Chains A and B, each alone.
Chain A
Amino acid sequence: MIAFLLAQTIAITGGTVYPVSGPKLDNATVLIQGGRIAAVGTNVAVPAGATRIDATGKWVTPGLIESGGNIGLTEISAVQGTNEAFQRVSEVAASFNVAEGINPASTLIPVTRIEGITTALTWPTGQLIAGQGVMIDLDGATVEAMLVKTSPAAILATLSEQSKDEGGGSRAGAAARLRRVFTDALEYSRRRPDYTRAQMQQLAASAADLEALLPVLRGQVPLIVISNRRSDIETALRIAKEYKLRLILAGAEEGWQIADKIAAAGVPVLVQPLDNIPTYDGLGARYENAALLARAGVKVVVIENDTHNARNLRQQAGNAVAYGMTWEQALRAVTLSPAEVFGVADRYGSLEPGKVANVVVWTGDPFEFSTGVEHVFIRGREIALRSRQTELMERYRVLPPKY
């Protein structure tokens, strides 16, 4: 037993450590034991028999957390048989939990994790209410092994051009329908016996979907609302206030215009910093959005919503810095902030004793193109830096290939 534990003891020594929860530590050690971080500091005793990783001259950070895609739920975007994020049954699909659609063998998982992304929120896509997203670590043979927590990380809704049709073609209609669903869920929870005796009026969604919304209405599970236009963001804030929801905004391209209001509401925002193409759903989209929100005191989570290139989360964060975020804010926005927003900060998001050992050793600044990944640990297990892409590269690096 002791030998087993020692075998899982890894000491990353000599690196510049960015715990995120505190200031950076030069020439520090991160000690991993039994899948958890045992110690972080400049004065850590390394147990005899520990596997030592010399990180001298390297940067050590928590594994990055991606919060904007469908990883595990898609293999080839254009091949419907490989896509699991969208359920066509209902435009109010609150009970649709994506977990069992996750394919632990997806080729996207190794492609992503060898670039330092160790954890992801994986979303359903859908209409007015898309369903339940879950958080997974990007390692594990089964869905159970990958899940960071068994309960949903959030339920997803949309208040934008995309959900107008579910409101009869009008934004006001979509907002009204969302309210009716919430009101009916509360009514349903008060009158379950009436419902089963069929002595209630027609409800705005199925019993399963209304039931699934109750944790949201009790504030136990956050509601992500995708909105970009300022007026849609304001609608989302209004509805969240009316129903006392734990709101998370996503997209929020015009969020910078009402950053103070979002900050005052204490609502975090998932932002893709490189969104700046004007559409009628977000004419005010601009690169500075993440920085302006952060400056106003909003908790910003940086996302990359191209699931196949979730690895470009680093580039998104770097560009957020180029356009005004501080580097420390940007690192937090891809580590501790998403952990807090999705309720797993007790175990994820920073390098602190007791936290899950998702740790990355980089050759330098993780946001720079020149930086490579030297080591990735997920739950204390070192990940081989191999993917289908690295294997294709090796196969063809000398031509003609040896088939």
Chain B
Amino acid sequence: MRPLSAALLLGGLLAGCASAGARSTQSPAPTQAARAASQDTTSADRAQYPSTYQRHPNPPVLIRNATIMTATGQEIAGGSILFRDGRIVAVGTTVEAPADAVVVDGTGKWVTPGIIDSHSHLGVYSAPGTQAESDGNEATNPVTAEVWAEHSFWPQDPQIPLAIAGGVTTIQALPGSANLIGGRSAVLKLVPARSVQEMKFPGARYGLKMACGENPKRVYQSRGPSTRMGNMAGYRAAFIQAEQYIRRWDKWNKDHQGDAPQRDLKLESLAEVLRGNIFVQNHCYRADEMVQMIDLAHEFGFRIRSFHHAVEAYKIADILAREGTAVSIWADWWGFKEEAMDGIPENAALVQQAGGRPVLHSDSESGIQRLNQEAAKAMYYGRRAGIQVTRDQALRWFTANPAWVLGLDSIVGTLEPGKMADVVLWSGDPLSVYARALQVYNDGWLVYDRNDPAHQPTTDFSIGRQP
């Protein structure tokens, strides 16, 4: 019996040109994928909604004489980067241009890895934002682990090209936070496409959206949960069911006695969390609640990959570092509700200082367009408070660290030979307010060029609506 994540990898392989999927046979895939492949306890013996992503064919590209920020500790002045067939070939000061390469003059410009947003609602809360596009919260039950964000995702969301123009190459599209357990996330290459399947990052594992605090208890006030203790009881009840579900399947997989247990989409998602195949992505604001959620994870033997929003992460930065849980946060949002009152702009810097893993996320169709600016703000707020933050660390907040949150850090998030060629060319220092993304390469494809209308994708939505 094939485990779910292996099925997805195979889907990528069948697609043929899917560079990440193809690569995963050669370079180490995220470590837990290997572990998952050795387990034989899942309930679905079939490929489920496989990725049909294919790398767009394009010539090799050499960007030369730019300042290259690799997100591996280096900022190379007068540097060059060469990529071919969707992969970075070389980064350094002496890179030869192959005869067939398109050469881009990077003089006075900067190069970074493509931006990764660990928390987006693009496609599930699409523009123009009417009720017709409101597909992010299945707010009909506090636990809807059975819903998948990809089944809501609209590839014609006109917000997608705006995010691409901001240098974003990969997103995690999440269900909303109305529910205790809101459903599965979709990890996507941010490229123009007719279907979400064509965007699904080959081999990427799903995330499971969970939410603490005010939102679920407000939404379910009348039927419950209506309190934070009710929230906790709700998560626990769900995972207890999932444990039982795993036992049922384990038993049947072993003895094949009688009918197979009935598939339950809700419990399957939760079981995959317990098996370590799906990452928990947990919306949680308050420090004390995050500590409760860590206890919950310990009770059921899973790990929370990242807290999201986490405006009070700085209060427990030591605990988060010890747990190895990332925090996906804003630079400076605060005050929109009570659990967000203690947000401070030094949050990322303080988490970094404690040895944690900060991520600058957007949760916003507007903010996703300038995650570099949000990281810059957070870095400089930290420095002004006397907290040492390097430019490389700040860059990692929106590249390598979110890649880790998605389990894709061996594939994207840095500029290193062998990595996927997700590359952004900036008009200036990306940590300046005046910098704009000039070119965005996704898997080596020039998906956006500010100076060339032929490389400025538009969605169907935007066609014929403007004078």
Give A residues with C-beta under 8 Å from B.
Answer: 75-79, 108, 257, 274-280, 283-284, 308-309, 311-312, 315, 318-319, 321-323, 367-372, 389-390, 392-393, 396-397, 399-401
6 smallest A-B Cβ distances: which pairs? A318-B433, A78-B337, A308-B335, A369-B376, A77-B336, A279-B128
Interfacial chain B residues near A277, Cβ < 8 Å: 127, 129, 159, 162, 365-366
Interfacial chain B residues near A322, Cβ < 8 Å: 433-436
Query: CB-nearest residue of chain A relative to B214?
Result: A78
Q: Does B354 contact A (CB under 8 A)?
A: yes
Q: Mark B387-408, 1 if CB is under 8 A from A, else 0.
A: 1000000000000000000000
Residues of chain B from 292 to 340 with CB closer than 8 A to chain A in the complex = 314-318, 332-338
Q: A279-B127, A315-B433, A322-B433 are in contact. List 19 more A-B contacts (CB 8 A).
A: A75-B335, A76-B341, A77-B336, A78-B214, A276-B162, A277-B127, A277-B129, A277-B365, A283-B128, A308-B336, A368-B434, A369-B431, A370-B376, A372-B380, A389-B334, A389-B344, A392-B342, A397-B346, A397-B385
Interfacial chain A residues near B335, Cβ < 8 Å: 75-77, 108, 308
Interfacial chain A residues near B435, Cβ < 8 Å: 322
Give B residues with C-beta under 8 Å from A.
Answer: 127-130, 158-159, 162, 214, 314-318, 332-338, 341-346, 350, 354, 365-366, 369-370, 373, 376-377, 379-380, 384-385, 387, 431-436, 461-462, 465-467
Query: CB-nearest residue of chain A relative to B465?
Result: A283
In the complex, what distance in Å separates the CA atom of A368 from the CA atom of B316? 30
In the complex, what distance in Å separates the CA atom of A75 from the CA atom of B338? 9
A116 to chain B, nearest CB (A): 13
In the complex, what distance in Å separates the CA atom of A105 from the CA atom of B332? 21
Q: Is chain A's interface secondary structure helix, strand, loop, or mixed overall?
A: loop
A257 touches B467 (CB 8 A): yes
List 21 A-B residue pairs with CB atoms under 8 Å apart, sorted by A's residue number: A76-B341, A78-B338, A79-B337, A275-B366, A278-B158, A278-B159, A278-B461, A279-B127, A280-B128, A280-B130, A283-B128, A283-B466, A308-B334, A308-B335, A312-B332, A321-B434, A322-B436, A369-B380, A369-B431, A369-B433, A372-B384
**Given A278-B462, A309-B332, CB of A76 within 8 Å of CB of B338:** yes
In the complex, what distance in Å separates the CA atom of A75 from the CA atom of B461? 38
Interfacial chain B residues near A321, Cβ < 8 Å: 433-434
B129 touches A279 (CB 8 A): yes
B158 to chain A, nearest CB (A): 5
Query: CB-nearest residue of chain B relative to A282?
Result: B128
Interfacial chain A residues near B338, Cβ < 8 Å: 76, 78-79
In the complex, what distance in Å separates the CA atom of A399 from the CA atom of B291? 15
B466 touches A284 (CB 8 A): yes
Interface centre among B316, B336, B370 (most CB of A within 10 A): B336
B122 to chain A, nearest CB (A): 11
Interfacial chain B residues near A284, Cβ < 8 Å: 466-467
B385 touches A393 (CB 8 A): yes
In the complex, what distance in Å separates the CA atom of A258 from the CA atom of B161? 25
